[in-house]
Structure 1
C-alpha cells in the first residue's frame, strides 16, 4: 500500500531575532501591566490602612484629629489595577498583530498602546498630585 503523505509548506519565520525582539517587547508590556496592578493594589491597601489607623488612633500626637480618607485613593488604586489588567490583553493583541506583520513583511509601528499607557499614567499622576496637595 502506498502511503499518502501530505506536503506541508514550511512556515515562513523570517529573521528569528526580529521575532524574539517582538516577544521581549511583549514580555516588557506584561511586566509593565503587572507593575501597574501592583502599584494600584498598594495604593488601595494603603488607603485602607490610613482609614483603619484613623479609627484606632482617634487623635494624632499633634492634637488634631486624623481625617479618614475620602475614598479617592481607593478609586485611584482600583483604576490602576483595572488599567494593568486591560493592558495585558492589549499587549497580547499587539504582539500577535506585529508577529503577523513581521511574517508578511508589512510592519508599521502603531503608537496606540503607547499613547494609552502614557495618557493613563499622566492622568493618574496629575490626580495624585492634586490629591496630595489637598491633603496637606
Structure 2
C-alpha cells in the first residue's frame, strides 16, 4: 500500500467527528420522540383522572393519541434520516436538510396549538358544583 493512497489523518478525524455528530443528533431525536409519546400518555391520564362533573365529549384522548403518533413518526423518520446522513457522510456528499426541520417545526407547532385549545376548552367547560351535605 502506498502512502499517497491513504487518507490524511485529519480527514479521518473529520469523518469520525461527523459520524459522532450524526449519532448524537439521532439520539436527540429519540429523546424528543420519547418525550412526545410520554406527553401523550400524560394528557390522556390527566383527562381520565378528572372527576366526571358532567358528561361532555372528552378530547384529551385524541390529543394524547396525536402526540403519541407524532412521537412514533419521529422515531421512524429520524431512523431513516440517520442512515441516510450516515451514507452521505461516508460518500462525502452530505448537505443539511431544511425540509425535515420545517416539517417537525410545523408538527410540534400544531401540537402546541392543540394543547392550548385543550386547555382553553377545559377552562371554559369547567363547572363549579356544590355538593349537598
- Does the pair score TM above 0.5? yes
The gaps in structure 1 that reach 5 residues or longer are: 1-12, 55-65
Distance 2:107 2:48 in 1: 23
1:19 aligns with 2:14: no
* Residue 89 (structure 1) shift: 1.3
Distance 2:85 2:106 in 1: 22
Question: RMSD of the alignment, in Å?
Answer: 2.0
Q: What is residue 49 of structure 2 aligned with on the other side?
A: 49
The gaps in structure 2 that reach 5 residues or longer are: 1-11, 124-133
Q: What is residue 131 of structure 2 aligned with on the other side?
A: none
Report runs of 4+ in structure 1 exceeding 3 Å deviation: none
Q: Deviations over 1:21-65 (max 9, x none)?
A: 100000000010000000001101111111xx22xxxxxxxxxxx
Distance 2:55 2:29 in 1: 36
* Number of aligned positions between the proteins: 113
In the superposition, relative to structure 1, how do residues 98 and 35 fare at CA in structure 2: closer, same or farther (>3 Å)? same
In the superposition, relative to structure 1, how do residues 96 and 75 fare at CA in structure 2: closer, same or farther (>3 Å)? same
Alignment match of 1:99 (pick from 75, 82, 86): 86
Residues 34-113 of structure 1 correspond to what in structure 2 (within 5 A)?
34-50=34-50, 53-54=51-52, 66-68=53-55, 70-113=57-100
